[in-house]
Amino acid sequence: MPPILFFDGVCNLCNKAVQVFIRRDPEGKLRFASLQSDLAKEMLPKLGLDPEDMNSLVFVKEGKAYLRSEGALLADVYLGGWQGAFSNGLRIFPIWLRDGVYRIISRNRYRWFGKQDACMIPRPEWKERFLE
């Protein structure tokens, strides 16, 4: 199964980030699902996570979940290219520092970037990349 990036489907910032990942992934190596999806409710508890209590995107690869900055960076590294190399370089910063910045943005994401009433509906050409 290809890696899955779980994201907050009502968060404008998260939806934009998913669109960036999709554009960076013309081969369709990544799959996407919202944290509000049935798949998240089924899969994430098996990984010790509560999708109802997530303020983070979750990158799931080979049965392991990566959260916050590590999840975002590893998803980018997985796609390769110069952006992946740059993201891999950012991993030299201590995780407590990266996650501190991530948490500040996460706590304020609705206030700064807005929120939708419902999860994003993917474009028809992206539909096969979304698991729900």
pTM across the whole model: 0.89
| pLDDT per position as a tens digit, 63-113 | 999 999 999 999 999 998 888 898 989 999 999 999 999 999 999 998 999
Tell me the two tokens of residue 94.
């201590």
State residue 1's pLDDT score.
Answer: 79
Q: Residue 97: which of 132, 73, 62 has the closest Cα?
A: 73
Give the span between the Cα atoms of 14 and 67, in whole angstroms.
14
23 vs 4: CA distance, rounded Å: 16
Torsional class of 63: left (φ above 0), alpha (ψ -120 to 50), beta (otherwise) = left
Distance CA 68, CA 130 (A): 20
- The string of pLDDT tens digits covering residues 24-73 is 998 899 999 999 899 999 999 999 998 877 788 899 999 999 999 999 99
> d(Cα 40, Cα 52) in Å, to the nearest integer?
9
- Nearest Cα residue to 5 out of 45, 44, 53: 44
Joined tokens for residue 14: 């998260």
pLDDT at res. 118: 65
Return the pLDDT at 100. 95
Structure tokens at 86: 């740059």
Residue 111 DSSP one-character state: H
CA separation for the pair 51, 57 (Å, rounded): 10
Mean pLDDT computed over 111-119: 82
Instruction: Output 128 or 20, whichever has higher pLDDT.
Output: 20
